[in-house]
Structure 1
Amino acid sequence: MTEGYFQFLLKQADTRFEGWDFSYISDTGRMATEPFPWSYTNWVLQELFHSKSMLDMGTGGGEYLSKLLPLPNFTAATEGYKPNIQIARKRLNPLGIEVYEVEDDSKLPFKEAQFDLVINRHESYSPAEVNRILQNEGIFITQQVGGTDNVQLNELLGAPMDFGYAEWKLAKAVEDIKAAGFTNMESEEAYPLTRFYDVGAICYYLKAIPWQIDNFSIETYESQLYKIHKIIEENGYIEVKSHRFIIKAVKK
């Protein structure tokens, strides 16, 4: 059964991924991540309730932002991944939220001091540009994927790692944000464990995040994937270490 089931799982991984929605493997219990010691949403809501103007950077398909209703009277979103833009607009435009396509983090299509709150979950950013579009005493909240996220997947597959990105840690982000003119920072960093309960879930996940392994394909890594499949059959899952950090900063 092992070989046939392995091929079945690989075929399931061909299911289309769109927006920024991992429910195909998370809601079905095929992947589970240990809880973080903080709640990004709680950090956001503490500022959102008195905000009058907010930007969501890297909104994906707008899935997360649409769940934060009611939103400030002026709320906007950006997205840089072209396949997501129409998905986000379809979801957010009816709520009165304009979605702006962004190709350069240092050139956002907004006026100076246009927002009192900027939120960012797992999206790149320019600290100086965020500072420019924030009002004085405005708040920037970002949760980031750290540079050592899930490196065990690379190791298990014998895939090269981006060692330059490995330097992306809380200390570096705080240093950059301070240099851009922010103060009164709160921050946390954590390495929660993520479990994958079948090899198809791993393939689906890696296809959705192409920066983890360049040019990932099932054909290229099939023999290594089969070894992982055997490990999961024996142990019930494989476990890898994630890397996340969160920062809240105030514009001086």
Structure 2
Amino acid sequence: MEKDQAFYDFIKDGNRAFKGWDFSFLTETGRTSSNVLSWSYGSMAIPLTRNTDCMLDMGTGGGEFLSLLHPLSANVFATEGYGPNVAIAKARLEPLGVQVTFIEDDNNLPFADNQFSLILNRHESYSPFELRRILNKHGVFLTQQVGGSDCSEINKALGVPVNGEFSEWNLQLVTKELENHDFQILFAKEEFPVTRFYDIGALIYYLHAISWQVPGFSVTKYEHKLFDIHQDIQKNGYFEARQHRFIVKARKI
């Protein structure tokens, strides 16, 4: 079937550059929407940040979330493993007194034993052993994670297997792993909110940003499948996928 001009216009729009960890280009224009979770990571994090003497934000992205928690304590550190984000995070966070560090290995963090009373982690990998090493006694770890079945409907529509390396990543696995490293689980919950993409450009933009969803993604490689999705959106109004999210609050014992 001949592709319409709207399809190509959306492709061009979806190929624009993604910077930091800011999806407002989609969310603020209503081009995507997601069901709400029954918890708020931010509302759980804020009171913890107000009662800590030294804290770490793992995987800070461009520092978007951490900067909104200002005022922060005097000793705040942040890590980021994606090189292009580091300069963005430093520009945003260093004026607030945050020390930003580029890291490449979760198993070898450049921090002292027992350094932190709080570690925040939103959608970032980590090593339970390193968490235990750098947290002080009764230190708290708060993490919200993306589960292994996240948006698997996208992979199915494009004819791509879900990333097998993370397919078993879920709440049960994480809580058991933390308990095995002498953490007490204070709160844990897992949910599967639905997200909708209202045009194919929004989905393309998302796939460029979330590069691990479909490794090696390009419009050229998947153009025919993308056009099939575009047609479904034109017919139904949206393309729908299930997110996979879970949150854990744990204390070192």
Fold shared by both chains (TM-score > 0.5): yes
Q: Which residue is equivalent to 1:249?
A: 250
| 1:185-244 Cα distance to aligned partner (Å, 9 max, x none) | 310000000000000000000010111101000001101111111111111111110000
Distance in 2 separating the partners of 1:180 and 1:31: 38
**Deviation at residue 52 of structure 1 after TM alignment:** 1.4
Does 2:209 align with 1:229? no
Map 1:111-150; keep pairs closer than 5 Å: 111-150=112-151
Query: How much does 1:2 deviate?
Result: 6.4
* 2:242 maps to amino acid: K
SS of match in other structure, 1:221: helix
Cα distance per residue 1:45-78 (max 9 Å; x no partner): 2312211111000000001100001111100000
Q: Aligned partner of 2:154: which letter? A: L
Say how many residue pairs are matched: 252
Relative to the length of structure 1, the TM-score reads 0.98
Write out aligned runs for 1:20-31 (5 A): 20-31=21-32
Quote the offset at 1:27 in angstroms: 1.0
Partner of 1:166: 167
TM-score by length of 2: 0.97
In structure 1, distance between residues paired with 2:80 and 2:240: 31
Unaligned stretches of 5+ in structure 2?
none
Counterpart residue number, 2:196: 195
Q: Is the 8 A contact 2:3 2:227 kept in 1?
A: no
2-side partners of 1:146 and 1:161: how far apart? 12
Q: State the match for 1:105 in structure 2.
A: 106
% same residue: 46
Q: Structure 2: how far apart are the matches of 1:87 and 1:135?
A: 30
2:49 and 2:73 in contact (8 A); partners too: yes
Are 2:21 and 2:62, in contact at CA under 8 Å, matched by a contact in 1?
yes
SS of 1:220's equivalent in the other structure is helix
Question: Mind listing any 5+ residue stretches in structure 1 that lack a counterpart?
Answer: none
- Whole-Å Cα distance in 2 between the matches of residues 72 and 179 of structure 1? 31
Give me the whole-angstrom Cα distance separating, in 1, the residues matched to 2:53 and 2:30.
38
**1:85 and 2:113 equivalent?**
no
Letter in 2 for 1:11: K
1:163 is displaced (CA, Å) by 2.4
- Distance in 2, matches of 1:228 and 1:108, equals 42
RMSD: 1.1
Partner of 2:64, secondary structure, is: coil
Q: Which amino acid aligns with 2:127?
A: S
SS of corresponding position for 1:21: coil
Structure 1 stretches of 4+ with a deviation exceeding 3 A read: none
> 1:150 Cα deviation (Å)?
0.2
Q: Deviation at 1:184?
A: 3.8
For 2:178 and 2:13, the matched residues in 1 are separated by 42
SS at match of 2:157: helix
Q: Which residue of 2 aligns with 1:175?
A: 176
Which of 194-203 and 89-98 deviates more? 89-98
Cα deviation, residue 165, structure 1: 1.2
AA of the residue aligned to 2:28: D
